[in-house]
Structure 1
Amino acid sequence: METRDEELRSPLLLASLGNHVAAARVLVEAGADPNAQDRRHDSAWLVTGVTGSVDMMRTLLPAGPDTTLRNRFGGISLIPASEHGHVAYVRAVLRETDIHVDHVNDLGWTALLEAVILGDGGRPHQEVVELLLAAGADPDLADADGVAPLRHAERRGFDAIAALLKAKAR
């Protein structure tokens, strides 16, 4: 059994939160669980999507993280990474894992929708949208209210993202 703090955070989760890659490597080699979740449903693996740390993501891969593990919003690591515009992370996690590009969280949003709805429309979010589409993200997969990513992009005035979505729409 791993030691946990009062919030049920494991040493590996704390290392991931602080991007302490060397410490995480030692913990992974000792058998630490990258999927151990705390009270907020965060895990070392899920946190890599929030921080965007490719080094930490790769450090955790040998421990066999569950890419379907859900955070408190029902999302997988790809979703917050897309929201935050973590281009290098999105590229790496799509190439190096079997993560599901069209996973829908409890809000009814995919990584593509989060990049559009919660992004700022700038170059990093444009690149994230490009990567998601290249990985097979469905540009027509609407949110829980039936609004597709293209409509969100147009409403927000994200012309470059709208153009990317139009090129892939069916």
Structure 2
Amino acid sequence: MLDEQLLTAAAAGDAEAVREAVTEGANLEARDSRRRTALLLASAADHVEVAQILVAAGADPNALDAQSDTPWLVTGVTGSVAMMRALLPAGPDLTIRNRYGGISLIPACERGHVDYVREVLKTGIAVDHVNNLGWTGLLEAVILGDGSAAYQEIVRLLLAAGADRDLADRDGVTALQHAVEKGQKEVAAILRG
């Protein structure tokens, strides 16, 4: 019952109820029917205060759910810099992979989360990590991005962090070749840099 209250309160963003459940001894690693912990529920909904309470109590930022998401990995999807910062004190595993074999940087690049990419690169995360599709964050930003200002900035940030512009996908196509093919002139110019 107490564990269920913790999960419900975390999902709702009810910081006081979370604090109370933690104080009364709720299991921080209790799972819902999809194997999500309270910290994952809070992270997915961007309930930063709840996450801070759970992290301070010792919740695991690397707890995998049924679809291989973790509180840390979800930050790359949501792009929440505040949540990323809330989880960093818990010592998240920056190499943990989602169901696509990607680390948190990759979905952030795909979704155009400029501020998140800027901040997560400061953690020393692997800028050239290759996912199950054979794509890096740079390739995802070009292949799945639209070439807009946000994606241009992400490409700049990745290159400044040491991303290998010549690292090709499984078909041997580089980010520059993809940018040219997609008509992303500004991105192509940055990649030619």
Quick check: TM above 0.5?
Answer: yes
TM-score (norm 1): 0.97
Q: Is residue 133 of structure 2 the alignment partner of residue 107 of structure 1?
A: yes
What is the alpha-carbon root mean square deviation over aligned residues? 0.6
1:142 is matched with 168
Any unmatched runs of 5+ in structure 2? 1-26
1:146 and 1:39 mapped to 2: Cα distance?
A: 33
Displacement after TM superposition at 1:114 (Å): 0.1
What one-letter code is carried by the residue in structure 2 that aligns with 1:65? P
What one-letter code is carried by the residue in structure 2 that aligns with 1:157? G
Q: Is residue 118 of structure 2 the alignment partner of residue 64 of structure 1?
A: no
Can you list the C-alpha shifts for 1:90-139, whole angstroms capped at 9, x where unaligned? 000011x1200000000000000000000011000000000000000000
Q: Is residue 147 of structure 2 the alignment partner of residue 118 of structure 1?
A: no
2:155 and 2:103 mapped to 1: Cα distance?
A: 17
Pick the aligned partner of 2:51 from 16, 21, 24.
Answer: 24
Can you list the C-alpha shifts for 1:61-88, whole angstroms capped at 9, x where unaligned? 0000000000000000000000001000
1:41 and 1:98 mapped to 2: Cα distance?
A: 22
Any unmatched runs of 5+ in structure 1? none
Displacement after TM superposition at 1:146 (Å): 0.6
Q: Which has the larger radius of gyration?
A: 2
Pick the aligned partner of 2:154 from 99, 124, 128.
Answer: 128
Q: Is residue 102 of structure 2 the alignment partner of residue 75 of structure 1?
A: yes
TM-score (norm 2): 0.85
Give the secondary structure class of the aligned counterpart of 2:65.
Answer: coil
What one-letter code is carried by the residue in structure 2 that aligns with 1:88? D
1:8 is matched with 35
For CA contacts below 8 A with separation 6 or more, give which structure has more relative contact order.
1
1:55 is matched with 82
1:133 and 1:7 mapped to 2: Cα distance?
A: 37
2:13 is matched with none
Give the secondary structure class of the aligned counterpart of 2:190.
Answer: helix
Count of aligned pairs between the two proteins:
166
1:70 and 1:38 mapped to 2: Cα distance?
A: 12
1:10 and 1:153 mapped to 2: Cα distance?
A: 39
1:40 and 1:127 mapped to 2: Cα distance?
A: 30
What one-letter code is carried by the residue in structure 2 that aligns with 1:37? L
1:98 and 1:166 mapped to 2: Cα distance?
A: 25
Displacement after TM superposition at 1:18 (Å): 0.3
1:21 and 1:76 mapped to 2: Cα distance?
A: 21
